[in-house]
Amino acid sequence: MTIKKGKVLMAMSGGIDSTVSAMLLLEQGYELVGVTFRTYDSIKESCLAKEKGCCSIDSIMEAKRMCEKLGFEHHILDFRQTFKDHVICNFMDEYMQGRTPNPCVLCNSSIKWGKLLDMADEFGCSHIATGHYAQVIHENGHWFLGNAVDAQKDQTYFLWMLTEQNLSRTLFPLGEFTKQEVRKMALDRGFEKLSQKTESQEICFIPDNDYRHFLSDNVTDFSQQCQPGDFVNTKGEIIGRHQGFPNYTVGQRKGLGVAFGTPKYVIGIDAAKNRVILGDRDELFSTNLRATGCRFTSVDMLANNNRVLARIRYKSAPTEATVEFDGRVATLVFKEPVWGITPGQSVVLYQNDRVIGGGFIA
């Protein structure tokens, strides 16, 4: 006999991770209420085209079908205006300032937790659950975001903005499993097609993965703001012409549109002067960075031990560093040079396999 544990708001995407998460929670005795949110309006390129993304109409309908199969109610929540205001507008603004944003970080904090926790209260749910690969750790009076067992799938980088209050009401059923184990669990429970389902790596509101095309279609007066300008070297010398700074990101090598004889990389972007700085690959190595908008789980922990492991992008290996902070601004000095520090991206700080803070690279 399964003992009922409580009521949980389960975020359903229609994919394997959220569906297996729901299966596990049901087996553990939780009562589930399924929700899927619509965050943007997508238009199929043709009547035969298949929409992609975790919040497309196809995914929403698949999430509804999965909830019906598993036997719990499902609701579709319309967050399109909130998503536009908090995520899409920030995405466009950042690129138009020469920075490279990561919209998933803001979506998780303002939509998936901000709005879902509000909805959890309305549905009488004590917790929310998602299919993220991460863990929640309660220790010494603090709630920490812990690394997933599957290092290749760990998603803590995207979740660093979650507060302790968020984490105290969060369940991550997949945190202790590998992706291979999750696929096997789906197969063992009779969901063969689901067990083989591939994952989308694109930004959900840019299913063709072409952010430049998205900016040109959505930024007001984009053609006036995105004007040709100068490529310059690190000495400030003009070495060519670019096609508008929003078309480039730090670390980019291909698609520069100019041949220099040797490979050149985007070293930096000066939006105010409409200049794109180019250099050799080695010039992208740095030993320090500054981060703003920081959040820390425990300032005392950092004050007692300022040595951390830091990740500057989702797939980057954690690198040893020391951190000094003043309010919500932090300065990191790395033990070894790191490559491709990119303004607008997140830097996430770890100690003992848990997130203790993060911020936006300035």
The catalytic site residues sit at 107, 204
Q: Do the beta carbons of residue 32 and residue 10 sit within 8 Å?
A: yes
Closest CA relative to residue 60, chosen from 77, 46, 80, 44: 77
Residue 204 sits at φ, ψ, to 5 deg, of: -60, -35
Q: Do the beta carbons of residue 337 and residue 310 sit within 8 Å?
A: no
C-beta neighbour count of 148 within 10 angstroms: 22
- H helix and E strand count, the chain: 12, 17
For residue 246, the number of C-alpha atoms closer than 13 Å in the C-beta half-sphere is 23
Alpha helices in 123-274 (DSSP H): 164-168, 179-188, 192-195, 211-218, 222-225
- The string of DSSP letters for 261-296 reads SS--EEEEEETTTTEEEEE-GGGGEEEEEEEEEEEE
For residue 238, the number of C-alpha atoms closer than 13 Å in the C-beta half-sphere is 7
Stretch (H or E) spanning 81:
helix 80-83
